[in-house]
Structure 1
């Protein structure tokens, strides 16, 4: 992430390889209609949504989706005073989600050249340094994953025609959540303007089929849960829908390589953002109660999330505001929500990626995310220091393979390892699985002094300074680098 202008957590420096009457209840007269706007309407939890839905209808709103189990309605209305008129008995809070979505950062990918390697391995495996780092080949000697494990990829969709993914997708469990209500049509959950989700899915579960690359857990199934609209925005109602879909369709895991709303730090003490936080938190808690473990990217701002932060770039789809000394009341969602496994990134040397956010007590584990700016012996790293995975050209509608880097790429590695762990040791609940993932990670110590792997880049000599704190569990690496073999043996 380049400062705060990045929505999905793939770094910007993507790698190139190659109206009327008074209403009952004392509501104000209806004002002239404005543009249709989306809202999250929260009812008091535990009381259902019937009263809130009645308030919505009386205030000239339309319920798009009702999530009764968590007391959340996704609503659209063209009434400019909707938030005022809907308030009353049965409605706890309401927030407009207009302007809350953040543009997807696509990055660049191109086709990878054919490569020869071990004839018993996938053709491009010799370019997958990330798989060796976390001991995927050793793990596959034990298990490549069970098809009973379903991983939800909450992202921009998955190409169902990709030769490395076509057999890997649980189509009956895939849906688009764009707009806040699920659409199960295959065209709806395929990518339209972004291949980000296709790349993430390949890291998790690309098939071992003699074509292209391997995923960490090729034996498991991935489900496409599309939360990115055609303009590249991820609105909170889409994320809520995605978490609820996962809960109701037997997912054990979800990967979340994004953050919600243009405020990269969502502040619970901000009246504009608190309803969003509460709705997302309700959906997360419910899905966790149904056996779903969520893993999420830490972010690409090189922020120390454990300390006060100055945010000068949010909202990143409007006029930024200067927000200084933000406290821990302001969190990255979903990465910093309770119960979510937060994943940082390392490059091919095993050191913290220059862009990866960090923080003592925030980062749970780390995984390969790529680092194309790490200089080794005075030489600039190459595109091959990113993560090679499956791609989809949304202009030509063709499938391929290419490089990306970011914590967007590290999170699916950890998700794949968690899927292998659950395959080898079934029956763990989300909390147990999260703990197991940490216990089987390989601890990595803090570097000494101020860490700055890229002192000569144009951003400035100190642009990526970072200081690590902690012992075996620390701010850069959490419990350590995930290890697929440790997770299955």
Structure 2
């Protein structure tokens, strides 16, 4: 697997375990601990920026370690237990790692110039977490959900959407007019956060369910990497920070559509067609998922009262994070420890506040219970990958993090997709993700993949539609009404599988949730129990393995139908979720 977002047959996505700092220096700021103003940060030229994760109760000791190492503490994020510090570019992480108070050090390096900003742009004047700066108050959350409220459509007749015939994935899980749509589906009091590359909130098949009031973007686009290689390309807006209803990649829009495209007589319908879709952007235009935006997105999800989040990505730059691998330098091990620690803290924070966490399992075609080689890390800077030996102590984040429900991908014949990662410990559920190589079906080519909404400007940029708006090939479908057209794209990946599980989770929250912060709430542990209970058990192949001719690999499935390495607790089932008696 190379892509940062979990998708196959799409452009190659890479990333780094850092968030992006805008051009200029980090201004002096008061620490949130009340310790007084921090010293002015040294010039960017000879200093790097770091996220320093400290142990429980060890904030003061960690601050002392930063100072002793020649660094300056710019801010403290007490919610997740880390310091934003500036220090020497050489040796600083290793010096901090010698302190027992420090459990991880991740570089938060500046990776590119913001070309849409005039030369000599001013400093970053708000160094504290964007989650705090942009976080919605309880009143904001309540008002946003109240304005979007829509009663459940229990028992109402439902007409199939125009492109429903192409949605083999929805038929596989019972999300159809005669299935879950006709019985019970999530309503707009249930919020699903899409932590991804953004969501095209103006797409005709997303707009009715798009919650603009709660949506946030925690990412600043950067045109190039430090070596001058194209990263995000030219900024579309002066600030290089896109509005919260924009997706310049397409990945997040596809995910959002699978979760909750409405039943509106246009295009397709999602698993939960009345859900409230919230863009919580943590991925750049080029598909990088940096650590700091991911931390901010998860923290915001908890503070805003989001019910379910979908995470179709892994945190860069390491496909597998090894905290004690002799193949890595001390600084690399500290960086990976920072990723594992920081993301786990953010996941715990969100889950403790009622957020059910759904993740794509990964596209590495790997048994995650027995990994041996990582050829894709570090994925940043571009072209720095190297082959290293790994073992089961190395983890994919967030798919293998605690409290996360991880989803494998299936093709239209219900065969595990050849690219999908798997593992008896790691696979919790399975869902349709698409597989162009799945010959066990009458479908051909792209139609074996998942069809969902796509931003028009992205398709035009990628030359998938021409100047007149006509699709250039079979991977894109145009659907028009009264002179207005919308577009849909076939994609495959575990990125496409996990949104099906997120949609089913939303149905369960709608059915069994109680009034909570601005809407309905159901504990993540209860949602998890119900997801497993309503899934359709699927046994391993009779031979115990499946040979994939595309990659000439043999993947071995282990475990009973109730829980195995290919299907987990089973195939998610929207109809069973909509009719379960709890």
Shift of 1:44: 3.3
Residue in structure 2 matched with residue 129 of structure 1 by the alignment: 168
2 CA distance for matches of 1:231 and 1:477?
A: 31
Alignment of 1:68-217 (within 5 A): 68-75=78-85, 82-83=92-93, 93-98=104-109, 120-137=159-176, 138-178=179-219, 187-217=242-272
Question: Where does structure 1 lack aligned partners over 5 or more consecutive residues?
Answer: 15-29, 102-117
Deviations 1:420-463 (CA, angstroms, capped at 9, x unpaired)? 011111143111111210111000000033644542x4x5xx2x
Give me the CA root mean square deviation. Answer: 3.3
SS in 1 for 2:500: helix
Structure 1 residue corresponding to 2:363, chosen from 300, 315, 320: 300
8 Å contact kept, 1:61–1:78: no
Aligned-partner Cα distance in 1 for 2:81–2:315: 20
3-state SS of paired residue (1:122): coil
Residues 204-254 of structure 1, C-alpha deviation per residue, up to 9 Å, x if partnerless? 010111111101001111111111123432111111111101010001111
Q: Secondary structure at 1:341's aligned position in 2?
A: strand
User: Matched residues in 1 for 2:508 and 2:353: separation?
Assistant: 19
1:349 aligns with 2:413: yes
| Structure 1 residue 46 displacement after superposition | 4.8
Aligned to 1:112: none
Instruction: Choose 42-51 or 144-153, whichever is displaced more.
Output: 42-51
Aligned partner (choices 369, 394, 400) of residue 330 of structure 1: 394
Question: 1:382 — aligned with what?
Answer: 445
In the alignment, the residues of structure 2 paired with residue 12 and residue 375 of structure 1 have an alpha-carbon distance, to the nearest angstrom, of 17
SS at match of 2:368: coil
Contact kept in structure 2, 1:205 and 1:416, CA below 8 Å: yes
| Matched residue SS, 1:200 | helix
Q: For 1:237-295, what per-residue CA distance to the aligned partner results, in whole angstroms no more than 9, with x for missing partners? A: 11111110101000111100001112211123333311221111111111111111111
Q: How many residues get paired?
A: 444
1:227 aligns with 282
2:564 equivalent among 468, 474, 482: 474
Q: 1:53 to 1:203 in 2, by over 3 A?
A: farther
Structure 1 residues 92 and 323: alpha-carbon distance in aligned structure 2, compared to 1, 3 A threshold: closer
Displacement of 1:69 in angstroms is 1.7
Deviation for aligned residue 1:417: 0.4
Counterparts of 2:513 and 2:242, CA distance in 1: 33
Assess if the C-alpha contact under 8 Å between 2:65 and 2:96 holds in 1.
no
**DSSP 3-state at the match of 2:527:** helix
CA contact (8 A) 1:302 1:354 kept: yes
- Deviation, 1:79, is 5.7
**Gap regions ≥5 residues in structure 2:** 12-40, 113-156, 222-238, 325-332, 462-468, 470-485, 515-521
Aligned partner of 2:487 in structure 1 is 400
Alignment TM-score, normalising by the size of structure 2: 0.70
Residue in 2 aligned with 1:444?
538
Per the alignment, do residues 312 and 78 of structure 1 end up closer, same or farther by CA in structure 2, a change over 3 Å counting? Answer: same
CA deviation string 1:141-164 (max 9, x = no partner): 222212111111000000111011
Give the match for residue 18 of structure 1.
Answer: none
Q: Separation in 2 of the partners of 1:160 and 1:170? A: 8
Question: How far does residue 43 in structure 1 lie from its aligned partner after superposition?
Answer: 3.2
Q: Equivalents in 2 of 1:403, 1:93: separation in Å? A: 40
CA shift for structure 1 position 91: 5.5
What is aligned with 2:119? Answer: none
Q: Is residue 440–residue 486 contact of structure 1 (8 Å, CA) maintained in 2?
A: yes
Partners of 2:378 and 2:281 in 1: how far apart?
23
- In structure 2, do the counterparts of structure 1 residues 390 and 13 end up closer, same or farther at CA, with 3 Å as the change threshold? closer
Which deviates further from its counterpart, 227-236 or 239-248?
227-236
Decide whether aligned partners of structure 1 residues 66 and 152 sit closer, same or farther in structure 2, where only a CA change above 3 A counts.
farther
